[in-house]
């Protein structure tokens, strides 16, 4: 029970990496609040969570709406007793080559992937500062370090998340709050459903471990950074990518 009695807020928790992380945390004794824009999937995920740990809840939330985020965070604190861990996992893609990328595609991805991380972290900060303790874990991407064709908007947000992570680690470390990021490689989530099978096979071949990532691989890394085992880790960007960027 590495997270016994800890309260974790996981954005984008209805599926994929967020859901795998929520289930992992629940098994480790955490009280888990998942937030997602998709209410139907959120309630389905909650049923699974409560089969593992009854101290879980789901709240529909749009991370781009700062007022809504603040209200939801206050609700979670009221019902679960605080927030010790924040997993900023909510993210979207709207890929296009630069010449064809629309302003709407740019703004939407920036809003969810970058502004959303800002909104959620700022909302939980007062509660962590009150305790002088907390773990903030941001989901970045290897794309944020190395770029990717057709992902100007996505790469920009993930690079921004890494920059915010390092800035917050410097600001908040002395106040007992660890801020780190995970940079997943190609991971088999719903985001990958539109990628042709041949491309997935090629990416697996390029990965030294010979396979693409699974949501549980990222969940395991989140568990380490959320637990007391990482208390001296701050400002790190942990690549969980099978070695694809070597």
Looking at every residue in the chain, the average pLDDT score rounds to: 96
**246 within a domain of the structure (yes/no):** no
Tell me the per-residue pLDDT of 165-201, one tens digit each, with 9 for 90 and over.
999 999 999 999 999 999 999 898 877 777 788 888 9
Of 52, 92, 73, 90, nearest to 8 (Cα)? 73
* Across 29-55, average pLDDT: 98
**167 within a domain of the structure (yes/no):** yes
**171 within a domain of the structure (yes/no):** yes
Specify the pLDDT at position 95.
Answer: 94
Specify the pLDDT at position 246.
Answer: 78
**24 within a domain of the structure (yes/no):** yes
User: Does residue 210 surpass a pLDDT of 90?
Assistant: yes
Residue among 75, 127, 154, 232 flagged as catalytic: 154
**244 within a domain of the structure (yes/no):** no
Burial class for 206, CB neighbours closer than 10 Å (0-12, 13-18, 19+) = middle
Burial class for 229, CB neighbours closer than 10 Å (0-12, 13-18, 19+) = exposed
Q: How confident is the model at residue 203 (pLDDT cuts 50, 70, 90)?
A: confident
Structural domain harbouring 37 = 7-239
Distance CA 206, CA 57 (A): 39
**What proportion of the chain, given as a percentage, has pLDDT over 70?**
100
- The set of residues, in sequence order, having a beta carbon less than 8 Å from that of 64 and lying 6+ positions away, is 111, 112, 115, 116, 119
Say whether 154 is catalytic.
yes
**2 within a domain of the structure (yes/no):** no
Angle, alpha carbons 48-54-55 (nearest 5°): 115
The total number of structural domains in the chain stands at: 1
**245 within a domain of the structure (yes/no):** no
**151 within a domain of the structure (yes/no):** yes
What's 163's domain CATH number?
A: 3.40.50.720
Specify the pLDDT at position 90.
Answer: 98
């Amino acid at each position: 029970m590495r997270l016994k009695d800890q309260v974790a807020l996981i954005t984008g928790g209805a599926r994929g990496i967020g859901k795998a992380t929520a289930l992992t945390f629940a098994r480790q004794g955490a009280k888990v609040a998942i937030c997602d824009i998709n209410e139907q999937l959120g309630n389905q995920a909650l049923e699974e969570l409560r089969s593992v740990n009854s101290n879980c809840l789901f709240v529909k939330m749009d991370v781009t709406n700062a007022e809504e985020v603040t209200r939801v965070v206050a609700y979670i604190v009221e019902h679960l007793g605080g927030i010790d861990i924040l997993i900023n996992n909510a993210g979207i893609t709207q890929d296009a080559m630069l010449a064809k990328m629309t302003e709407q595609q740019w703004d939407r991805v920036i809003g969810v992937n970058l502004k959303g991380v800002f909104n959620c972290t700022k909302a939980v900060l007062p509660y962590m500062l009150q305790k002088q303790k907390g773990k903030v874990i941001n989901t970045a991407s290897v794309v944020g370090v190395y770029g990717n064709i057709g992902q100007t908007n996505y790469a920009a947000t993930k690079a921004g998340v890494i920059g915010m992570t390092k800035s917050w680690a410097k600001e908040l470390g002395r106040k007992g709050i660890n801020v780190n990021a995970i940079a997943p490689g190609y991971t088999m989530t719903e985001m990958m459903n539109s990628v042709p099978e041949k491309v997935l096979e090629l990416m697996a071949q390029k990965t030294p471990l010979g396979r693409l990532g699974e949501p549980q691989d990222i969940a395991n890394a989140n568990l380490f950074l959320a637990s007391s085992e990482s208390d001296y880790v701050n400002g790190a960007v942990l690549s969980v990518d099978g070695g694809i960027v070597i």
